[in-house]
């Protein structure tokens, strides 16, 4: 996948088949659009192009809204798009000025003149331009005018409801990783740098890697203990993660930490990606570190069985 940060120097691409969106999550609904994009490109002997933005529109339109949280960082989103087989990713800077662009100008100046669209694939609820004024019918008319095809991909339904980033965020917010991962089509993950903690885990036989999450917009799942998989230098390890404030040690400082099974490397300063498979229990306060250690032993057995079943 080639990443293009400047559509004004977009190279000649054969019969570009284009879709546009924020693609937070790159979930099953997005993947349905991408599969149609690839199929259409094959029909037209063309190339696939995803157009997205350097930041989520809500970050620009409501900069003081602290509730804006994203399922994936940009880096992880780009990785998901690359693994889906997309050939070109165009990243547009989303600014207030850009948000006020009439949809006709966006289609004419960027989709047609700069990217040379042969075909445009849109999601069932997608709209273009300022105040989302550009509808599917509008796109079809523009297509006839500028000679590119337009098609809409139907919503992807699971349990009677469309798959959406909002639905996935809600599942993560209550710690329902089974539901969130089912809608994503892969395991939700967090990437962070390993930083020094209070080393209580070492004292009770469960050393943890404490993750510093640099992206303040990254959505963190609900507090609790999770069965996890940990990516480290191309290898995958089982692990037991905790999200929360560690009430037993009266720390009251939010942390994301993981005890990596069968692992004793020194990894301070390195980057880990932790994928969350299932939430196994609430975060609890124990009367002593011994009680906490006893519970963690039970959790480890439970999680190892869960991950190997």
- Decide if 223 is inside a domain: yes
**98 phi/psi in degrees, rounded to 5:** -65, -40
What is the per-residue pLDDT across 109-144, written as a single tens digit (0 to 9) for each?
Answer: 999 999 999 999 988 776 665 555 667 788 888 899
**228 phi/psi in degrees, rounded to 5:** -140, 165
Residues of the chain with pLDDT under 70: 7-9, 126-134, 250
CA angle 51, 54, 56 (to 5 degrees): 95
Give pTM, 2 decimals.
0.90
Q: How many domains does the chain have?
A: 2
Q: Domain range holding 283?
A: 187-308
Asked whether the beta carbons of 275 and 227 are under 8 A apart, the reply is no
Asked whether the beta carbons of 190 and 213 are under 8 A apart, the reply is yes
**Residue 244: left (phi > 0), alpha (psi -120 to 50), or beta?**
left
Q: Are residues 131 and 275 in the same domain?
A: no
What's the pLDDT score for residue 78? Answer: 95
Type and span of the H or E element at 230: strand 224-232
- Decide if 169 is inside a domain: no
What's the pLDDT score for residue 134? Answer: 61
What's the pLDDT score for residue 129? Answer: 59
**Residue 143 belongs to domain with CATH number:** 3.40.50.620
Tokens of residue 162, six digits: 């469309």
- Decide if 194 is inside a domain: yes
Beta-sheet pairing, 16-20 with 2-4: unpaired
Tokens of residue 232, six digits: 């480290």
With CA atoms as reference, report the closest residue to 119 among 59, 41, 174: 41
- Decide if 171 is inside a domain: no
């Amino acid at each position: 996948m080639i990443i293009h940060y400047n559509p004004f120097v977009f190279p000649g691409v054969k019969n570009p088949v284009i879709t546009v969106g924020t693609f937070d999550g790159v979930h099953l609904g997005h993947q349905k659009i991408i599969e149609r994009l690839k199929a259409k490109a094959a029909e037209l002997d063309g190339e696939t192009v995803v157009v997205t933005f350097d930041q989520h529109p809500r970050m620009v339109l409501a900069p003081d809204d602290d509730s804006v949280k994203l399922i994936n960082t940009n880096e992880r989103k780009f990785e998901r798009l690359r693994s889906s087989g997309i050939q070109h990713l165009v990243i547009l800077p989303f600014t207030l000025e850009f948000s006020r662009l009439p949809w006709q100008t966006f289609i004419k100046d960027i989709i047609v003149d700069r990217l040379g669209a042969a075909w445009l694939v849109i999601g069932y609820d997608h709209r273009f331009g300022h105040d989302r004024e550009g509808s599917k019918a509008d796109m079809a008319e523009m297509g006839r005018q500028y000679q590119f095809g337009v098609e809409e991909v139907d919503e992807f339904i699971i349990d009677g409801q469309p798959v959406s980033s909002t639905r996935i965020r809600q599942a993560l917010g209550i710690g329902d990783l089974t539901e969130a991962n089912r809608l994503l089509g892969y395991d939700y993950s967090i990437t962070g740098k390993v930083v020094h903690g209070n080393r209580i885990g070492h004292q009770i036989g469960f050393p943890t890697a404490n993750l510093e999450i640099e992206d303040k917009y990254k959505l963190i799942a609900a507090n609790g203990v999770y069965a996890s998989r940990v990516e480290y230098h191309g290898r995958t390890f089982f692990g037991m993660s905790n999200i929360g404030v560690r009430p037993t040690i009266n720390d009251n400082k939010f942390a994301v930490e993981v005890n990596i099974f069968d692992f004793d490397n020194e990894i301070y300063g390195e980057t880990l990606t932790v994928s969350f498979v299932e939430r196994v229990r609430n975060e609890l306060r124990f009367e002593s570190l011994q009680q906490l250690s006893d519970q963690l032993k039970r959790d480890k057995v439970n999680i190892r069985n869960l991950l190997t079943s």
